[in-house]
Amino acid sequence: MTRNFAKWIGVTMGLLMATAGHARAEEIDAATQNKRLGRAVNVLGYDPIWRSMDRARFKAKHFKTIKDGGFNSIRVNLHPFRQMGPPPDCKLGDSWTQTLDWIITNALSDDLLVILDLHEFNAMGANPEANKEKFLAFWKQIAPKFKDAPSNVIFEILNEPSGKLTPQLWNQYLADALAIIRSTNPARTVIVGPAFWNGIDHLRELKLPEQDRNLIVTVHYYAPMDFTHQGASWAGRADKIGVTWDGTDQQRAAIARDFKRAADWATANNRPIFLGEFGAYDKAEMASRARYTAAVARTAEQLGWSWAYWQFDSDFVVYDIARDQWVDPIHKALIAQ
């Protein structure tokens, strides 16, 4: 038996053992599932773990750290396109899928719900037609692979559809992907959001199959961008720094107004809401970041939404892996003491 094959067997057995005792997918409806998601954190999107387990920043112990830190779930940001073989199969690489199995095994073992978030928004937004084959091939492989996984494993069709993936085109793509998922996972909870970066103001353009009620709708929130993305070169704000968020009545009212639009849409369409991303970039002052983070999280909770902070490691950070400790102001802002 080769070392890699032995590793694969061990991971697969671990996944099977971890799923034992968890509820099956068909037992939990979307509204209940959304409550179970509760407080989540985005993880592993930019970790070297996907290139080599030996280079991983994120370790097995961090699943328990997240659970003990007051979180219920993780949203795993997946970038599989570069790991795929040639069309038409676009087969996912063995090393990549073994890493994914390791993540799910450990998360379930530490009683965390797991969202598998296809995070290839840049490629899909730049050229949706050229990448559609990979997009659908991903779900053709992932859906049957996890068809017997417990309800604690949730699929998110695509992060932040945007760019050339217009609202009209996105409605077609999500319908195609959802049909693939439902062919093997008829009752699994699936997360899907509107185009234009999962923006609240584009919920009205999102077209979902009326008969499929096991869907959670996600929105992302980073307003005002001049505060949350100050100093961020990728957002065109490298030289915009020193913006504060003071928690004034006016600032808090702006969050409430924005979220009310999403809440009204959710009520009208009978769909639960998951705030899949929010936070403020590290270039903002810490006190402002903490005030803003707490305000967004509490407003979402008051509306009965689940949420996922962006993110555990890297930037917008809530956990300092190098120091092996929480970034205390941000952690306390998220997990009300």
* pLDDT of amino acid 26: 55
What pTM did the predictor assign?
A: 0.93
User: Each residue's pLDDT tens digit in the chain (337 positions)?
Assistant: 333 434 444 444 445 444 444 444 556 899 999 999 999 999 999 999 999 999 999 999 999 999 999 999 999 999 999 999 999 999 999 999 999 999 999 999 999 999 999 999 999 999 999 999 999 999 999 999 999 999 999 999 999 999 999 999 999 999 999 999 999 999 999 999 999 999 999 999 999 999 999 999 999 999 999 999 998 898 888 888 999 999 999 999 999 999 999 999 999 999 999 999 999 999 999 999 999 999 999 999 999 999 999 999 989 999 999 999 999 999 999 998 6
The reported pLDDT for the residue numbered 337 is 61
Distance between CA atoms of residues 99 and 308, nearest Å: 22
DSSP state of 68: H
Q: What are the C-alpha distances in Å from 311 to residues 33, 127, 131, 271, 324?
A: 22, 27, 26, 25, 15
Domain parsing of the chain, residue ranges: 3-334
pLDDT score for 8: 41
pLDDT for the residue numbered 239: 86
Q: Where does 91-166 have alpha helices with state H? A: 94-109, 121-126, 128-145
Q: Is 148 helix (H, G, I), strand (E, B) or coil?
A: coil
Specify the DSSP class assigned to residue 316: S
| pLDDT value of position 68 | 98
3-state secondary structure string across 17-48: HHHCCCCEHHHCCHHHHHHHHCEEEEECCCCH
In this structure, which CATH number among 3.20.20.80, 3.40.50.720, 1.25.40.10, 1.10.150.120 belongs to the domain 3-334?
Answer: 3.20.20.80
pLDDT value of residue 336 = 80
Residue type, position 256, single letter = A
Q: Is the previous residue joined to 172 through a cis bond, with omega within 30 degrees of 0? A: no
